[in-house]
Each structure stands twice: as structure tokens, then as C-alpha cells.
Chains A and B, each alone.
Chain A
Amino acid sequence: MNRRQLFLLGTAAMLANAMPSFTFAATQDIESRFMGASQLLVNHDLSPAVGARIAAFAQASYPNLGDMLDRITETAAARGASRVEDFFDAIPEGELRDFAFWVISAWYTGSSSGDRDATLFTYEEALLYQPTIDMVPIPTFGFSAPNAWGNDLYPLTDLPRF
């Protein structure tokens, strides 16, 4: 082995040692970019822990994840928008629009798809239950005192805040 080969080997070893933190940093980066894009698509309080799980799944499923997240963020920025209603129509139809719907669906259903073998991201933090939380329990969680659930029929228009 000549000196140059030794040098290359040493560099490779150094890089390999550095890899775990590099991966960690990359993961953190994707997570925060994912949360950023998510916050634009879903204008509610979003849990970073749930976001990390969805991001990890997305990373394994979408090779161009980073790029798609950036394009969603840029689309909103181009409109100066922070609400999904103000920029969603500007997301081009096709792969990017489908991905945006997938992200929204993941937050609402807490699952990677509607299939019975889908990956679960969260149960009780799935947003699906929040628009009706004043009237309907999240199943398994207590809702009222004994025999005290005969509350008023709330109008459809009074959306709870979440």
C-alpha cells in the first residue's frame, strides 16, 4: 500500500466515523423541513414527535422528499402565504400535489394509508377527531361523567379550535 492509498483509506475511515452525526444532522434537517411544509399544509398545532414519525416514513417512501418539501415551501413563499387555502392551488398537479395530499392525510388519519397494514403514526393525535371533539369522543378515551353525554346538538358551523 503506498502513501496515497494509506491517505485515502484514512480519509474514508474518518468519513465513516463522522457518518452517524452526519446522518443525525440530515435527519434533523429533513424533520424540520417536513414540519415546516406540514405547518403550511395543515394550519393546526402539530406535534413534532408525530411529525418525526411521518417524516421517517416519507423518507423511506419518497426518494426526492427534500426536493418536494422545498418546492411546497417555495410555492407558499412565492404567494407570501402561510395558510394552505392561499397557495394550495399553486402546487402543480401530479406528483407534488399528490404528495401534499398524502402529508395532509397522514396528519389527519395518523396512518400512512387507509390499508389495514399501513404504518401508524399516531392514534389520539390524529387530527381527524379534532373537528368533532366537542360532540364525539376519541374511542377508548372517556368523554363525560357517567350518563352525562346527552349534550346539545351543536351546529355544524362551530368548529373547535385545535
Chain B
Amino acid sequence: MTSSSQVIVVGTGVVGSVIAEHCLDAGLEVLMIEAGPRVSRAQIVENYRNLPLGAKPDATASYPPADWAPHPFHGLEHLESTGPNKYDPTYIRYAGGSTWHWAGTSWRLTPEDMQLRSRYGVGRDWAFDYETIDPYYNMTERKLGICGPADPADQWPVRTRSMPYPMPHLPLSQGERKFTEVMRDKLGLRNVPVAQARNSGMPYDDRPACCANNNCVPVCPVGAKYDAATSLNRLEAKGATILENSVVYRVETGEGNRIVAVHYYDRDKTSHRVTGEHFVIACNGVETPRLMLMSADDRNPNGLANSSDQVGRNMMDHPQQGYTFTTVEPYWLGAGPVVNSGIMETSQGDFRADHAAVYFRLNNFARNRDIAKRAMSSGKVGRALDEEIRRLTATSLNVVAAFEMLPDPNNRLTLSAQKDWLGLPRPSVYWDVGDYVRRSSAEYSNPLAQRIAEAVGATDFKPASPEKFSTSKHIMGGTIMGNDPATSVVDRHSRTHDHANLYLPGGGAMASTACGNSTITMTAMAFMAAEALVSEAKGA
């Protein structure tokens, strides 16, 4: 069993994988430690196909957790939620992590998104500006294979790109094109093609082109979508060692508060200690702060990296509200990837001083499974039933409003008194989406959604309750980044202020959420961390 390595990366999700590969390419020795099992794509596809219809919408149902690596799963209370709103993120503790079931939507932040405090007087500013992260966004788009529009009129953010996307955007289906035209003509809104980590019209990265299997969530059956599992063989070919089914439960400090080792349990609950020089904890925005808190020791009684008392605080997400409505004219969503276009321009404006911005995404999931109950309970049979299924599938639209959220120290991850299978404390999160979001729902997003519904000719629009929000599963904030060690956990390189050789890259470091899905930003920050680590390792 490997007991030492120059670089130790905990977690084989997209963030850990990108850092590991950067280190390998620089000639460093890398050991990756992964809590979950390594599974085949075919197995996940079969799991999905074998689910009854009622379980198919659950993105996690195809991923039953291993006893030793529990993740949020129907019927298993891995994550406790307290507070006025329900915190209900999902993530996957398998080798490859949560990009197994991500949609691949990859919106960059705008320069304004990174300066909420100085521009609008709310939230926090980032430790660096857009120009600083721009090259790392380019690296991310190349590494993951993110396709996007070449026409500046269709790009987001609206600014000149420093590099083109590596692939053209995926075509919009006829229904998405129609929606785009209606939004433009009736509301003056731009519904633009989503930049997404999916192979468009060509193979890329040894993976095939997308053939519209419309199952990006919960699993792309052909691997046309990037997920970190697709990179693990390549990492091994480059020399990485990957230990799976190995749950890191303690990070050990030594002299000068440097990290000297991590401890993990194998699936027989046997403990192992691995020493190293540089440590990267990339377990995602819930499991990373949890591990920091679990690792409290005499030097760090409140948990590692926590001299600021900010570990686990400022938990953020994109709270969301869905609208399903029926139109008269057919839209025929469902051909192509499950998310393919959206309205981003509603996410910018001076109103952010008062309430949250919002992004509207037009979901492109095949509608059959969602309209089944309605069709089957219509009392229709025979040809009338077939026509009803066809009509409802073609004319039912699902639009989701995703809100930005402010960092609030009260939204806090702590260790629960409940224990998991290994005897480790479960994570518990206090969750309140906040008035900033609630105001946006009531005053901004609901009225906008109604106009969108009216524009497409919806006959049954219902406003969302300004009290009820679901979780987007974009886990952010719990190890927040900043220049000031008194108020933040990591620096601009995702390196902890408290431990010179410990990096906590990923969503936890994000200082603002904006509205767009955030993995591209997590990955760009991972590249920044990787560069810093490599130069440190090389003594630069």
C-alpha cells in the first residue's frame, strides 16, 4: 500500500483530477485518494434504465452509495438540514465525483459578478478580477472540452473573448430556436446557446460526439459529456496512483502547522496513514469543510484552516424555482442535451444592490416522463391517449429560475451528532436562502417568469411561492477565498492561510455565486491552485 507521495490529492472529481493532471504534467509524483468505488459507465446506464419511471427524475438514484462513502441519497440521511429552507444538494462519492451526473452547463462569471461589494454594496469581492481568471477559463474550456458559440452576439459574458471555444456550440432544437425567437421578438431578451462540456459535432479528448441521447443528467451513456471519470485512466497512464474506496477522515498537522499526512479508512474500516509534501483536498463544498472540522487537533482546536472561524460558514448555492407550463403551439423540447439554452442577461444590473439576480434556463429534458401522470390520469384511452401524450410532450415547457445568493456566515456547515457507517460525524447545514433571494423571487423573477410564460402562449402559468426554493447542487462558500486571513479561509490560489502546503480548491473557495452553474469557475480556480502548487514544489 502506498504510504507516501510528493503530492496527495484527496478526491477524484473534476477539481482534483485537473490539479492531479497539471502536477503530473509538471513531473510531480501524485497519489489520489478517493472515498468511493470505481464503476463502469455501462453499469450506471443500466442502473438508470432499470429504475421505475417514478425514480427516474432523481439524478442520484442511479448511484447507490457505498456504505463507507455515503452521499445524499433517497432514504439515507447523510446530510442534515436545519433552518428555514431545506438544503438538499446531491453529489456523488464515486471515483470521478459529481460530474458523473452534472449537465455540463459552463457559464463564466462576468467581471461584475466578482465585485458585488464594490459595485453594489452587497456580498464580497473576489480576491482577484476577471482578467486574472480569464486565462484559466480558457484552460478549463480546453481541458474539459467546452463547446460554445463563435458568434459574439450569442456569447456570455458579453465581451470579447481572448480565445475561441474549442468546439462550436451544439445546435438548438427547433423548439429552442422558436423559444429564442419569441423571447427576442416579444420581450427583447436574448436566449443564448449554453456553453457546455460536451463534444459538439466531433470527437474530443478521446470521447465521441454527442448524439442527442438526452440523458446528460444522470449519466451520459456514451461519454460525449466530460465527466472526471473519463480522465482517470489517462491520469494513471501519466503515472498517478489512485486509491479507491479510501475515505480520508483526518488531515494531520506537524511542525509550523504544515500538513504532514492524511489518514484514511479502507472499506474494512482499517486505518492507513499517508505522508506527503503538498496536500490538495478536493472533496467538494460539503465534504471538504467537513473534513477540515473533523481534523481538529491541539494546534487547531476549531478545525484545520479555521483560525478565521469561517470554515463551514457562508455556504451558498443557486436557489432555484421551476415553472412548468403548457403552450398551445408545439415546442417539442427533448432533442439534444438536457440543457442547451438560457437567458443570462437578467443576471446583471444595478438592481443587485437590492435583490438577487436571476438566470432563466430552458430545460430540454424529453418531457414524456414528466407528463406521464397527467396523460394517464386524463381518462383517455386509445388514439386519444396517444394524441394526449404527443400534445403534452410537445407543448409542456419547463423553465427554471436560478438565483444568486450572498455569503452569510449563519449559513453554516457543522458536524452533526449523527454518525455515518464509519463512525464519522455527518455534515449538518443551517440553511436560509435569505431576503435578498426572496425579494428577487417576489419582485423580479416571478413577474419575469410570467412574462416569459405569456410570451410563449402558456395557458396555465402559476407563480412560484416566494418562500420555496430547491437546491441547485452548486456547492459554494464553505472555505471562502479572500486576501484577509481574518475573514477568509484560502488565498487567491485556494491555499489555506493557516497551512502553507494545504490547498482547498473547488466551490468552497468561491466568494460570490452569480447565477450561472459554477463548476467552470471551480475548475479555473483549480488550475490557479495547481500552478501555485507546482511552482512551490519546484522551489520557484
Q: Which residue of A101, A111, A129, A153 is within 8 Å of B332 (Cβ)?
A: A153
**Using Cβ atoms and an 8 Å threshold, which residues of chain B touch A145?**
211
B393 and A136: CB pair below 8 A? yes
Q: Which of B13-21, B346-354, B365-373, B431-439 contacts A (4 or more CB under 8 A)?
A: B365-373
B52 and A137: CB pair below 8 A? no
- Could you tell me the distance between the alpha carbons of A135 and B335 in the complex, rounded to whole angstroms? 7
**Using Cβ atoms and an 8 Å threshold, which residues of chain B touch A115?**
52, 54
- Known contacts A123-B49, A126-B53, A128-B369; A135/B200 CB under 8 A: no
**Using Cβ atoms and an 8 Å threshold, which residues of chain B touch A152?**
174
- Known contacts A104-B381, A147-B209, A153-B330; A137/B335 CB under 8 A: yes
Contact with A along B515-540 (1 / 0, CB 8 A): 00000000000000000000000000
- Could you tell me the distance between the alpha carbons of A123 and B394 in the complex, rounded to whole angstroms? 21
Quick one: closest A residue to B394, CB to CB? Answer: A156
B335 and A149: CB pair below 8 A? yes
Q: Which residue of A85, A105, A123, A144 is within 8 Å of B212 (Cβ)?
A: A144
B171 and A114: CB pair below 8 A? no
Quick one: closest B residue to A145, CB to CB? Answer: B211
Is B508's beta carbon under 8 Å from chain A? no
- Could you tell me the distance between the alpha carbons of A41 and B52 in the complex, rounded to whole angstroms? 22
Is A59's beta carbon under 8 Å from chain B? no
- Known contacts A116-B61, A147-B171; A142/B393 CB under 8 A: no
Is B261's beta carbon under 8 Å from chain A? no
**Using Cβ atoms and an 8 Å threshold, which residues of chain B touch A49?**
none
Quick one: closest A residue to B209, CB to CB? Answer: A146
B373 and A156: CB pair below 8 A? no
Quick one: closest B residue to A118, CB to CB? Answer: B52
- Known contacts A118-B53, A126-B53; A142/B212 CB under 8 A: yes
Contact with B along A112-131 (1 / 0, CB 8 A): 11111111100110101111
**Using Cβ atoms and an 8 Å threshold, which residues of chain B touch A153?**
174-175, 178, 330, 332
Contact with A along B41-53 (1 / 0, CB 8 A): 0000100111111
**Using Cβ atoms and an 8 Å threshold, which residues of chain B touch A85?**
381-384
A132 and B175: CB pair below 8 A? no
A150 and B213: CB pair below 8 A? no
Is A47's beta carbon under 8 Å from chain B? no
B170 and A41: CB pair below 8 A? no
**Using Cβ atoms and an 8 Å threshold, which residues of chain A touch B389?**
108, 128, 131-132
Is B336's beta carbon under 8 Å from chain A? yes
Contact with A along B209-223 (1 / 0, CB 8 A): 111111100010110
Q: Which residue of B54, B199, B200, B369 is within 8 Å of A118 (Cβ)?
A: B54
- Known contacts A109-B376, A128-B369; A135/B334 CB under 8 A: yes
- Could you tell me the distance between the alpha carbons of A7 and B407 in the complex, rounded to whole angstroms? 85
B372 and A142: CB pair below 8 A? no
Quick one: closest B residue to A106, CB to CB? Answer: B376
- Could you tell me the distance between the alpha carbons of A80 and B230 in the complex, rounded to whole angstroms? 59
Q: Which residue of A43, A116, A155 is within 8 Å of B330 (Cβ)?
A: A155
Is A141's beta carbon under 8 Å from chain B? yes
- Could you tell me the distance between the alpha carbons of A3 and B373 in the complex, rounded to whole angstroms? 63
Quick one: closest A residue to B177, CB to CB? Answer: A150
A-side interface residues toward B, CB under 8 Å? Answer: 41, 43, 83-85, 88, 101, 104-105, 108-120, 123-124, 126, 128-132, 135-157, 159
